[in-house]
Homo-oligomer: A and B are copies of this chain.
Amino acid sequence: MDFIKGKIESEAIRFSEAKSHIGQVVKVQGTVHKIRKMSGFAFVILRSARDLMQTVYSVEFSKFDLNSISEGSSIVVKGLVVEDQRSPIGCEIQMHYVEVLSKPYEEMPIIINYKKLDVNLDTNLQYRPLALRNPRERAIFKLQEGIVRGFRDYLQKQSFTEIHSPKIVGAGAEGGSNIFTLDYFGKEVFLAQSPQFYKQMMVGVFERVFEVGPVFRAEKHNTSRHLNEYVSLDIEMGFIKGFEDIMNLETDLFKHIFELLDSEYKNELELLKVTLQKIDQIPSVKFMEAKEILAEKFERNIADFEDLEPEEERLLCEFAKKEYNCPFIFVTHFPSSKRPFYAMDDPNDPNYTLSFDLLLNGLEITTGGQRIHDYNEQLKKIEKKSLNPDDLQSFLMIHKHGLPPHGGFGMGLERLTMQLLGFQNVRNTSLFPRDINRVTP
């Protein structure tokens, strides 16, 4: 009988700790990122989870054959830490011995050790498991981790409870044409398009809930801003006084996320040359006022009075940036005709809803609003939308037996990452994107 005590021994120090070991012999481990051979010596750049570090091979002090390692080898280096002012971490290591933990069998089909990956998007995605080893590529997803972490940390401090709702759903899904169907032991079921019903159900349980999880949309169009599977950041909040509470929460949330990224993800922001603008307040304009601004300031001929066109989202952000120096703008009071059956109508004008979109750098990143909590009001709206209440029984259960006033929002993680980091295609900010032509790797 052995006993596992919960201690992991490692003699290797982290790259970031090396500077405090100048003059000492230490062990570091990592993957060989790049070898630059000079005459009589070589620079061997090691890659670890978040950093690069220069080690130096020389016939003078290295007691192994340089040919025993190659780009892609995982190695442990034993060597002397020496000061180096030019290095971003202030030191480099003179390699004495090397232990090879694993080795590659073939050269990379793409060059991952350029500063910027120099391949087109299709090639990047074809070789995704390798492309992501490029420090700039992986920085996108380290920052994405930071966004999710900021989202969770903030909401937990605001007494939100994290939930995990099912992704296989039966009757009562929102429906529409962009839903995936699935054979479930001979029965037709669906993949969840959003956790909307479940988060509303859970408002009756935990008052404030959030979820981070995949959602599925069978979009047939192949655009730069749509994915068929994406990670949705969702919140729902009970006992609100109005949908402005949700917008205030989201504003404060973004302040928190930006602060976290600035403090703990500095290297990654620098690698991607991204500066996050400090947010103090976010301008907010009603849907019809937004259309007026578009007509007046941009001499736009307004054709669609039910929704915002992509070009209009772009222009509104241009306006917010110019007039208020803000990359964000809220648009509120979208027409009832275009919002779902659970959206609460504005009591002052039921043609519009107590809802909002949040735009960032030219694109909608969030849809939210207040939901109907009253049973009769919900039944009436279901009727008005020509839906069948029988299909929504388990959802209506919560209204029938009492539900506080509530609202929330949903936000696609990949699209938010794209807008925040300034990418032009959402596939760049999806770890393994799914579109109409792509389900591998």
Interface residues of A (CB under 8 A from B): 1-10, 12, 29, 31, 48-50, 71-74, 101-108, 127-130, 132-133, 138, 141-142, 144-145, 148-149, 152, 156, 159, 161-172, 180-185, 187, 189, 191, 197-198, 201-202, 204-208, 213-214, 216, 218, 220, 228-229, 231, 238-239, 241, 244-245, 247-249, 251-252, 255, 280-285, 324, 330, 373-376, 394-395, 397-405, 413, 431-432, 434, 436, 439-441
Shortest CB–CB separation between residue A9 and chain B, in angstroms? 8
Q: Complex formed: what's the CA distance from A269 to B229 in Å?
A: 37
The answer to whether B229 and A168 touch across the interface, beta carbons within 8 angstroms, is yes
Secondary structure call for the A interface: mixed
The answer to whether A214 and B216 touch across the interface, beta carbons within 8 angstroms, is no
Q: Complex formed: what's the CA distance from A84 to B240 in Å?
A: 30
A180 CB contacts on chain B under 8 angstroms:
182-184
The answer to whether B73 and A129 touch across the interface, beta carbons within 8 angstroms, is no
The answer to whether A397 and B130 touch across the interface, beta carbons within 8 angstroms, is yes
Q: Complex formed: what's the CA distance from A255 to B197 in Å?
A: 36
The answer to whether A3 and B281 touch across the interface, beta carbons within 8 angstroms, is yes
The answer to whether B249 and A204 touch across the interface, beta carbons within 8 angstroms, is no
A285 CB contacts on chain B under 8 angstroms:
1-2
The answer to whether A129 and B201 touch across the interface, beta carbons within 8 angstroms, is yes
15 contacts between A and B (CB under 8 A): A5-B281, A72-B401, A74-B239, A105-B375, A105-B401, A107-B401, A129-B205, A132-B205, A149-B156, A152-B152, A168-B228, A169-B440, A181-B183, A198-B432, A394-B440
The answer to whether B168 and A434 touch across the interface, beta carbons within 8 angstroms, is yes
A398 CB contacts on chain B under 8 angstroms:
129-130
**Given A184-B439, A284-B4, A431-B165, A402 contacting B73 (CB threshold 8 A):** yes
A105 CB contacts on chain B under 8 angstroms:
375-376, 399-401
Instruction: Pick the residue among B71, B133, B284, B397 that contacts A204 (CB under 8 A).
Output: B133
Nearest CB in chain B to that of A220: its residue: B185
Instruction: Pick the residue among B8, B164, B181, B432 that contacts A245 (CB under 8 A).
Output: B8
The answer to whether A172 and B49 touch across the interface, beta carbons within 8 angstroms, is no
The answer to whether B206 and A49 touch across the interface, beta carbons within 8 angstroms, is yes
A405 CB contacts on chain B under 8 angstroms:
74, 101-102
**Given A145-B162, A216-B168, A432-B165, A48 contacting B404 (CB threshold 8 A):** no
The answer to whether B8 and A248 touch across the interface, beta carbons within 8 angstroms, is yes
A440 CB contacts on chain B under 8 angstroms:
169-172, 394
